Each structure stands twice: as structure tokens, then as C-alpha cells.
Copies of this chain bind each other. A is one copy, B any other.
């Protein structure tokens, strides 16, 4: 074998080892949920953080994976102060409000720096997170996806055997169009959309567009999350402070469970 062939063989072996490691890690997780939308700024991160905190508050072991590599915001939204413990290719995620968190933010020297990476680097980062993170046994892993239908969501869909997608939209027309695009992408990739959440619902933007979108596309409508002044900017998820918000997530989670069960998947109670 010449050195070039040798190097190619090594790369194939590493790739195969990575896939095996990822499958072992993910084998310890019962339900893997993605929170997604085509458009940015509709509150994907807020919904992902609140959903994860809600599940943890019910006593479930829960992980939250931030796959927005160039603009990671999950640690800030969840008020994570600790850094992960990384030893021998094994990352132990820190916990906040009972949620284990992994995000690119841990690997920035300065949170304001721009992570200027083209797709292949983003692909590698997501694969490496999945390979080295030791989540332990989890009932749920919530995956916060970046906006758009390009590299990062595509990589997540190709690498992670997700049980289903929760699609977030707002009542605005452009957000609904981007939500349709993202639902069409999930379907093209032969994965499951569990339903639609309408975020920022209320007086300012109106309400009802999420339910209409769900109906138009033959999907369950999982519920509304009202627009509230203290929505962002706090490091404690609102679902942990407000009975009203808790009720909204109770409803959303009931819908997610029903969708998963309709697909023949069992859900931890």
C-alpha cells in the first residue's frame, strides 16, 4: 500500500469509528426531538430551552444540543455558567435547571467573536459533538437547529436519527412561508414532523397562522406560546416561573407525545 492509499484507509477507519461512537452515544437516549423553523428569530431557541426545562422539571433526564454553530445562544438563554469537562475525547456537559447542555459557545474564547466557518467545518463540529458528548442515559434530547435549509440542518438530519421535528412559526406571513419550506425539507429527508407551535402569539402579531399552517399541511397543531415582555433576556426559562407558560408547554408536550405514539414510538412518562 502506498502512503496515499494508507492515508485514505486511515480516514475511512476514523469515519467508521466516529459513526460507531455516535451510535453508541445516541443509543442511550430514548427520544430525540428537534426544534426547527426556516426563518430565524421566531423563537426556536426559546421554545427549545423552555421545552427542555419543562421536561427536566417533570423529573426526566434531559439534554439540549445547540447545533447553531455560528450563532450559539442556548447557553445564554439557559443561564449556563459552567464549562464542560473534556477529557480523553469525552465531553461531560454542564447542567442548568436540570438540563445538560452542549453548545459551540463553550469553545469560543469570547462570546462576541464571529465563528466564520463554511459548511464542512460546521459539519465536522456537529459530528464531533455527537461523537464525544457523554450524555449518560437520557429520556429526551432536544436539538435546537439553526435557521435555513442549508448545511447545519442538513448535517443534523443526515447524522442524527431524530424521532421528530417540532416546527416553530410566528403569526407573520413570511415566517409561515419559511416554516412550510422547512417542513418540506424534513419531509424530503424522510423524517417526521410532529407538529407546529405558534410562537409570539397575541395582540401585536395576531394569532391563528400556526393552526392554519398545521391544517393546510395535515399536521397536528401543538399549541400557542403567547408573546410576553419578559420573553427573552432572562437566564431562567419562563416555563419555570409562570404557571401560565407551564400550561402552554403541558399542552405542547401532550401533542408531541400523541404524535410520537401515533408513529409507534414509546415516550417516557
Chain A positions within 8 Å of B, measured between CB atoms, are 38-42, 45, 69-71, 73, 76-77, 111-120, 122, 146-152, 154, 172-175, 177-178, 180-182, 184-185, 188, 204-205, 227, 229, 232-233
Contacts beyond the supplied A40-B41, A41-B175: 7 A-B pairs with Cβ under 8 Å:
A76-B174, A111-B177, A112-B180, A112-B181, A119-B120, A204-B204, A205-B229
Q: CA separation between A84 and B116, bound complex, in Å? A: 33
Report B-chain residues with C-beta under 8 Å of the C-beta of A180: 112
Q: CA separation between A230 and B38, bound complex, in Å? A: 22
Q: A174's contact among B39, B77, B118, B148, by CB below 8 Å, is which?
A: B77
Most chain B beta-carbon contacts within 10 A, residue among A113, A114, A149, A173? A114
Report B-chain residues with C-beta under 8 Å of the C-beta of A229: 204-205
Most chain B beta-carbon contacts within 10 A, residue among A42, A45, A181? A181
Q: Which residue of B lies closest to A175 (CB)?
A: B41
Expressed in whole angstroms, the minimum distance between the Cβ of A29 and any Cβ of chain B is 26
Q: Which residue of B lies closest to A120 (CB)?
A: B119
Instruction: Indicate whether A122 sits within 8 Å of B147 (C-beta atoms), given known contacts A77-B174, A177-B111.
Output: no
Q: Contact at A40–B177, with CB atoms within 8 Å?
A: no
Q: A149's contact among B40, B42, B71, by CB below 8 Å, is which?
A: B71
Report B-chain residues with C-beta under 8 Å of the C-beta of A175: 41
Q: Contact at B73–A174, with CB atoms within 8 Å?
A: yes
Instruction: Indicate whether A41 sits within 8 Å of B38 (C-beta atoms), given known contacts A114-B181, A149-B70, A204-B229.
Output: no
Q: A71's contact among B69, B76, B147, by CB below 8 Å, is which?
A: B147
Expressed in whole angstroms, the minimum distance between the Cβ of A76 and any Cβ of chain B is 6
Q: Contact at A119–B76, with CB atoms within 8 Å?
A: no
Instruction: Indicate whether A116 sits within 8 Å of B174 (C-beta atoms), given known contacts A71-B39, A229-B204.
Output: no
Expressed in whole angstroms, the minimum distance between the Cβ of A236 and any Cβ of chain B is 14
**5 A-B pairs with the lowest CB-CB distances in the bound complex, closest first:** A41-B41, A40-B40, A114-B185, A119-B119, A112-B180
Expressed in whole angstroms, the minimum distance between the Cβ of A1 and any Cβ of chain B is 24
Q: Contact at B119–A149, with CB atoms within 8 Å?
A: no
Instruction: Indicate whether A172 sits within 8 Å of B39 (C-beta atoms), given known contacts A116-B154, A178-B73, A184-B114.
Output: no
Report B-chain residues with C-beta under 8 Å of the C-beta of A205: 229
Expressed in whole angstroms, the minimum distance between the Cβ of A41 and any Cβ of chain B is 1
Q: CA separation between A188 and B118, bound complex, in Å? A: 15
Report B-chain residues with C-beta under 8 Å of the C-beta of A115: 149, 181
Expressed in whole angstroms, the minimum distance between the Cβ of A248 and any Cβ of chain B is 18
